[in-house]
Chains A and B, each alone.
Chain A
Amino acid sequence: MARPETNPDPAPPFLEVRSLTKYYPITKGFRRRVTGLVKAVDDVSFSIREGETMGLVGESGCGKTTTARCVLRALEPTGGQILFQTADSGTVDLAPLSRRELRPLRRQMQMIFQDPFGSLNPRMNLFDIVGEPLLVNGMPNRKERQERVAELLGLVGLRPEYMQRFPHAFSGGQRQRIGIARALALNPRLVVADEPVSALDVSVQAQVLNLLLELQERLGLTYLFVAHDLSVVKHICDHVAVMYVGKLVETADTKTLFYSPKHPYTASLLSAVPIPDPRLRSEGIELSGEVPSPANPPPGCYFHPRCAYAIDVCKTQSPLLRQVSPGHFVSCHRAGELPLQGIVT
């Protein structure tokens, strides 16, 4: 269980995302004239080492799902590189690949979805849902598939007898397990999990987190883990990247990020964690204003209209992501000089 402390190791990262951008056109009128761009993901860079977990956190609409889907090439990025170490053919940039070029790589990368209600076909039973990737990827024998599906259902804590049932007869938590079983069917190497436990209740969440950790150890899985529950992120992630309005504002190893955040936005995120003790009720740091739209972000630092520490330069100049200590990157003009608080020990 002992894991190496962060060292700036020379092995090439398992996944390296460089200056990833994804813009959506804003169209007007029935001729769909393009009047602007939604910069859903704007110059995002991070890397993940094999067998580790990178957590991606941030406010709703900040581009986490878009980033995650670009990494898997479920979406076509507008720019940037996605350098992925494949099982057999070295490092490949996924960003420019065509659908056909991606096909042989697909089984190495799988996704667990945010919405357990929307992601399962209501007309397919569990055997078909979990067994479909097996069928598509060359396991035509029904009996063999049944065995594998039973095994996968067991792995995620569902009874194999449920195989003939349809998603509607399951509650939210049960459906999320179905999604995980399906994602694991082809023994992927990279699993992108978009809010995988946020629809689960606590004891099941604990089981799934234990399961994800165990699977990671056993199968050497690498996770990109999108979540809003910072307690969960702290529990499961080795590194964390914080996004705000399409940009990366801070990334560091988990301990550093939680105990000595250097970006004001990260500090306000940490203060908003609901503590499971009614005697410790707190309103957290009240952020004034609203999250800007990525279609129309403010000039300078995107966080400046809401930041208690903003100075003049913040209003005009966009801060660059810079390293404040080994492996700790912050995008703030005042990084290092602010009295920010992390998790109270």
Chain B
Amino acid sequence: MGNKTDKEGAMVTLEGGGEPLLSVRNLKVHFPMDEGRVRAVDGVSFDVQPGQVVGIVGESGCGKSVTMKAILRIVEPPGRIVEGQIMYHSRASGEAGTSKVRGTIDLVGLAPNGKEMRDIRGAEIALIPQEPMAAFSPVHTVGNQVIEAIRLHRDLSKSAARQLAVDTFRDVGISMPEQRIDSYSWQMSGGLRQRAMIAMALAANPRLLIADEPTTAIDVTTQAQILRLLRKLRFEYNSAIIFITHDLGVIAQMADYVVVMYLGKVMAQGPVDDLFHNPLHPYTQALLRSIPSVQSAPRVKLPTISGSIPHAFNRPKGCPFHPRCTSFMPGVCDRDEPELKAVDGRQLVSCFLFRDTPEVANGQA
């Protein structure tokens, strides 16, 4: 196993030892703005194994969506990847024969609109975006947009692509798919639109599906169906999934491995059971306390994390969580940035409470 951190802060994970499908290393995406530089993503590292469901949690604005946009190379200007690597290992997914992509590629090195990136986007790595409303154009039917997306990556006739679109609509639980496919996104309810989005992402049969809050605006039985659908997909196609949600319940039910982000940084990561039953990082602990549960008493004040999230260009010096942390150590946490360290051989934690592991204690003055 041996989780280690090398000098650059790029960590070596992981369980299993197999080659990961995706390795994000020290990724930094910044937006130069009039008010200052928004460090939306500021040194993020994690791996996705083939077929694994990686859950990403974190508060609004911590850089989850921008990280995903960076992976797909669709960060809006003036945003820019300023550092880091996004290694995509096409072989890791097995049947490389069908893939247009070979070997290992650093997606950061590709032109965002070049042919290679276009071959990867949608076909190899597909996104279910956070804003389904924005994802569909209001002037074309949803069906035409799905058909177009299919034909971009697959050599199919229009009618074959339409049939595939209808089948996929049915797969994701849309009733009357033959009719629904001819509607416009604005005619659909939130849940339907979300399903149409998932259908569009699935139609190309991607190796890595990035689901950015895919069940946020829909109710629980539909959510349960979509979660079942994503689980099924993962087993049937061995697709890996990066699952972004703010719902710790969904993470607990879905993820194999969890990455906790805050202000553009990874605070903690580890297997789902460790994260929930032995949370080490103060931020992970605070998050878990603040969930209303069906078991808890109604109408009582929930424990919240004090203060508000600083904007990314007002990043606090030192540990980004320090102004809100109940374990804050003056002179330590507000001076240096903690690095992501393996703590118990399973979790990686970025917090000075754990600096007394020998290597760190020696390294710190």
Contact = CB atoms under 8 A, between A and B. Distances in A.
A110 interface: no
B157 interface: no
B217 A202 contact: no
Contact of B134 (A62, A117, A198, A232): A117
A296 B227 CA distance: 27
A201 B294 contact: no
Given A207-B304, A274-B224, 11 more contacts: A60-B189, A60-B218, A114-B190, A198-B217, A199-B213, A202-B248, A202-B287, A269-B221, A278-B252, A281-B253, A284-B221
Interface in B159-195: 173-176, 189-192, 194
Interface stretch (A11-19, A169-177, A315-323): A169-177
9 contacts: A60-B192, A171-B60, A202-B291, A206-B304, A210-B302, A234-B292, A273-B294, A278-B255, A291-B175
A171 B249 contact: no
Interface of A: 1, 3, 57-62, 65, 114-115, 117-118, 157-159, 169-174, 195, 198-207, 209-210, 213, 228-232, 234-236, 254-255, 258, 268-270, 272-284, 286-287, 290-293, 296, 343, 345
B220 A272 contact: yes
Contacts of B227: 274
Contacts of A255: 298
A76 B250 CA distance: 37
Nearest to A62: B219
A213 B133 CA distance: 30
Nearest to B290: A206
Contacts of B303: 206
**Interface residue range, chain B:** 35 or more
Q: Is the interface of A mostly helix, strand, loop or mixed?
A: loop
Interface string B243-256: 00011111111010
A130 to B, nearest CB: 17
Contacts of A209: 292, 302
B299 A3 contact: yes
Given A60-B190, A231-B249, A276-B252, A203 B217 contact: no
A231 B294 contact: yes
B131 interface: yes
B191 A275 contact: no
A141 B144 CA distance: 50
Contacts of A231: 249, 291-294
Contact of B224 (A201, A213, A272): A272
A169 B33 contact: yes
B250 A274 contact: yes
Given A117-B134, A231-B294, A201 B217 contact: no
A195 B190 CA distance: 11
B99 interface: no
Interface stretch (B4-12, B21-29, B271-279, B333-341): B271-279
B112 interface: no
Contacts of B131: 117
A170 B31 CA distance: 13
B60 A159 contact: no
A203 B228 contact: no
